[in-house]
Amino acid sequence: MSILRRLPLLAAAAAVFLVGFWFLAGHRLLLRHISRATGRQEVEVIGCWNCHLPRSRTELRRGRPHPEPRALAPLPNGLLAVACGPTREIVLVDPAAGRAQPPVPVPGDPAGLAVAPDGGLWATLAGPGLVVELDPATLTERRRLQVGLRPAGLAFAAGGERLFVANAGDGTVSVLDPAAGRELARVEAGREPFAVAASPDGARVAVVSRMASVGRPDRIPTSELTLLDGRSGRVEARIPLPSCHLSEGLAFTPDGSRLLVPAVRVRNLLPIVQVARGWVMSSVLAVVPLADPTPRLLPLGGPETPFPDPGGIAVDAAGRRVFIAGGGGDEIEVLDLEALLAAADALDPAAPEDFSLNRHFLRRRFACGDNPRGLALLAGAEPLLAVAERLDDTVALFRPDGSLAERIPVGRPVREDPVHRGDRVFHDAGYAFQGAFSCRSCHPGGHTDGLVYDFDIDGIGRNMVLNRSLRGVAGTAPFKWNGKNPTLQRQCGPRFAMVLTRADPFPEDRLEDLVAFIQSLPPPPPLAGAGRVAGIDTGAVARGEAIFFRDRRRDGSPIPPSGRCVTCHPPPHYSRFQKADVGTRSPWDGSGEFDIPHLTGIGSKAPYLHDGRARTLEEIWTAEGVGDSHGAVTDLGKTGLNDLVQFLRTR
C-alpha cells in the first residue's frame, strides 16, 4: 500500500526528469539533427514542421476584378477609348453624352492605347505580349502583332509608317511597320521602358523607363530616357535621369524642342531621417532640351505640399498649359508652360533642389478621384481634360478652371472588397507625414524599386538593405531581411510608421485591408525565353534543375547539406523560411544571418543579396571571395553556372 501511495510522487519525479533531460540533452540532439540535416548551426528554435511538413503553394487572396481605367485615347469620331486592364476590356466613352458604352473584351489586359493617322485604334496587351489593331467604332479586332514581354506604352511616328512599343518586361522597344504587319527591329532601352511619345513632326521618338538601371548600390540611381530616330529606330541618345525613377508618362513640347518627364526623385543614399525636407523622395518634372540633353529637374511639390507619385501628363496644343496627374494625392497640377521653360532655362542642373521654385509656374491644383493615372485633352466647343480615376472606376471630365464637368463610370459596377480597399491604402500618400509618398512609391505594381535604403533605426550607415518585392509574399513569413517580423500586420504596422512614414500608423481596419491587398499580389511571372536561343530549347533549364537538386559534385564526391541549393530553397516557394549565413556579411552589417528569400519570380527581382551588391544572378556566385559559401558551385564552370541561372529564371 505504501508503494501505491508513492506512485504519484514517482510519476512526478519521472516527469521532471524527462523534462530536464529534454532541455539538457534533447535540445542538444535537436541542434545536432539540424546541423546534420542542413549543415548549419541555427541560433533560433526551428519547429519540426519547418522541414517535415509538406508545403503547398499559398493560395492568394482573391478580390473581385475592377475595371481600373488607366490609358486614354481620344478618337477622331469624338469618342474616348479607355483601357481597363484587370477586366481585359476596352470601353468607349461618349464625352458629349456623358456616358460609357458597354465594355468590349479583348484577348489580354490592355495597357496602352494609340490612334493611327488613319483613325484606327491600337492597344498593347501586356499578358500575351501583343499589339492589336481595333476598329474605332466597334472595337472588333482587325489584326494582331507579337512584340516583347509586357508591352506598355506605344506611339506612331514617321507619319504613321512606324509604331514604337515599349516592352516593359524585357527592356526593349519594338519598331513595327504597321502597313506590312511586321516587326522591323527590337532595340535595347532602359530598365522597364514604359511610356512612349513621338515628336510633333514624327521624326523622333522618346521612351522613358520606369525603373532605375541596376548599378552599384552606393551610386546615385539613374533611369534612362531613350531617344530614337522616328523611322529607322536607331538610338540617337541615351539620356540618364539622375536620382529619378517611376516615370509613367512623358510628352514633347508643341514645338518639339524639349521633353517633359514627370518622375520621383529618390534619395535612397541618405538616411531615412528627414521626410519633411524631401530627404526620402520628392516629385519632379524633368525638362530635357534636345539641343543640350541635360535634364533640369523642377519640383512639382512645394514646402509642406508634396505632389506624390506623378504619372500621366498632357500638354495643350497651344503650348500654354501642362497637366500632370498626382496618383498618391488624388490631384491634378496645372502648370504654365512658358514660365516652366523659363525656370528650367535659368536652373543650374547641379544646384540643390529648391522646393519654392514651383511658385513660378504652378497655376492650380485641383482634386480628382482616387489614384488618377492617364490624362487626355479633348477638343470641342469647351475643351476638357479627361482623367482616368483608376480606383474609382471612373473617367472624369474637368474644365480648364478645374471644375468638374462630368464623372462617368466605366465597365460594370463591382462591389468593394478588402483587396480593393487595400489597393486604395497602398496607393494613398495620406498615411505618410505631410502626404509625401505612398507604399507604391517604393513598390510600383507591388514589386520593388530595386534600390538600397539606409534606415536610421539601427544606426546611420549600418545595415543598409535592398528593398524587397511584395509580389508573391503571401505565405512566406517571416519578413524583413533580419526575419524579425512574423506577420505582414507586424511588418506594416506601428513600427513601419515609426521607421518610415513618420506619421500615425494605419488604422487597424485599413491595416487589415492593406494586408489583404499584399496577399493578393501574385509572384512575378517566370521569364519567357529562359534556356532558349532563337526559340530553340537548349536543355539549359533541365540541366540547371538537376544542378539545383543535386547532392553530389561532378566528380562524384558528396555535397554536404549546407552546400545544396535545395537545403535552404525547397519548393514550392523555394525557401526554408529561416535565416542563414552564406558569407555575405559586410563590415557595416550587424549580423551575417539573413532571411532566406523565396525564389519565385527571382528573375525579375534584380539586384540580389541583402544589400543589392549582386547586379545579376550570376554575380551572386562570381563575386570575389564567394567560393562555395553560398552553395557548392566551384565545380560547375561557366556553362554549369549558366544552366543553374537559366533554371532560376523559370521559377
Q: Per-residue pLDDT tens for 587-607?
A: 988 899 999 999 999 999 999
The answer for residues whose C-beta is within 8 angstroms of residue 619's C-beta and 6 or more apart is 608, 613
- CA distance readout (Å), 439 to 297, 313, 625: 23, 22, 36
DSSP category for residue 485 = B
Q: Confidence class of residue 504 from pLDDT cuts 50, 70 and 90?
A: confident
Q: Confidence class of residue 21 from pLDDT cuts 50, 70 and 90?
A: low
Q: What are the b/e assignments for 435-454, b being 16+ CB within 10 Å?
A: bbbbbbbbbbebbbbbbbbb
Which has more pLDDT, 423 or 279?
423
Q: What is the pLDDT of residue 380?
A: 79
Distance, CA of 579 to CA of 597 (rounded, Å): 9
Residue given cell 552553395 in the structure block: 631
Q: What are the b/e assignments for 84-93, b being 16+ CB within 10 Å?
A: bbbbbbbbbb
Cell of 6: 508513492
Q: Confidence class of residue 534 from pLDDT cuts 50, 70 and 90?
A: confident
Residue 173 region by backbone torsions, left for phi larger than 0, else alpha for psi between -120 and 50, else beta: beta
Same fold, 69-418 and 538-650: no
Residue 484 in this model has a pLDDT that exceeds 50: yes
Q: In this structure, are residues 384 and 323 in contact, taking their beta carbons and an 8 Å threshold?
A: no
Residue 43 in this model has a pLDDT that exceeds 50: no
Domain boundaries, the chain: 25-54, 69-418, 419-520, 538-650
Return the ∠ at Cα 219 (arms to 217 and 224), rounded to 5°.
Answer: 100
Q: What CATH number is given for 538-650 in this structure? A: 1.10.760.10
- How many other CB atoms are there within 10 angstroms of residue 414's CB atom? 16
Distance, CA of 358 to CA of 302 (rounded, Å): 7
Which has more pLDDT, 344 or 280?
344
Mean pLDDT within 265-278: 83
The pLDDT tens digits for 604-632 are 999 999 999 999 999 999 987 788 899 99
Q: Confidence class of residue 152 from pLDDT cuts 50, 70 and 90?
A: very high
The pLDDT tens digits for 195-247 are 999 999 999 999 999 999 998 888 999 999 999 999 999 999 999 999 999 99
Q: Residue 311: which of 389, 366, 421, 385 has the closest Cα?
A: 389
Sign for the CA dihedral angle at 206, 210, 213, 218 comes to: positive
Mean pLDDT within 158-181: 97
Q: What is the pLDDT of residue 272?
A: 84
Q: What is the pLDDT of residue 28?
A: 60
Count H helices, E strands: the chain?
A: 12, 36
Residue 2 in this model has a pLDDT that exceeds 70: no
Q: DSSP of 379-444, one letter per residue?
A: -SSS-EEEEEEGGGTEEEEE-TTS-EEEEEE-SS-----HHHHHHHHHT-GGGSGGG---GGGTSG
Residue 10 in this model has a pLDDT that exceeds 70: no
Burial of 576 (0-12, 13-18, 19+ CB in 10 A): buried
Q: Return the CATH class of domain 69-418.
A: mainly beta
Q: What is the pLDDT of residue 75?
A: 98
SS3 at position 448: coil
Mean pLDDT within 554-566: 94
Q: What is the pLDDT of residue 1?
A: 47
Torsion on CA atoms 23, 29, 34, 36, rounded to nearest 10: 160
**Which contiguous run of DSSP H or E holds residue 376?**
strand 372-378
Sign for the CA dihedral angle at 191, 195, 199, 202 comes to: positive
- Report the chain's mean pLDDT, rounded to a whole number: 91
Return the ∠ at Cα 333 (arms to 209 and 300), rounded to 5°.
Answer: 60
Distance, CA of 27 to CA of 569 (rounded, Å): 25
Bridge partners (DSSP) of residue 406 are 397
Cell of 483: 526575419
The pLDDT tens digits for 46-93 are 556 455 555 555 567 788 899 999 999 999 999 999 999 999 999 999
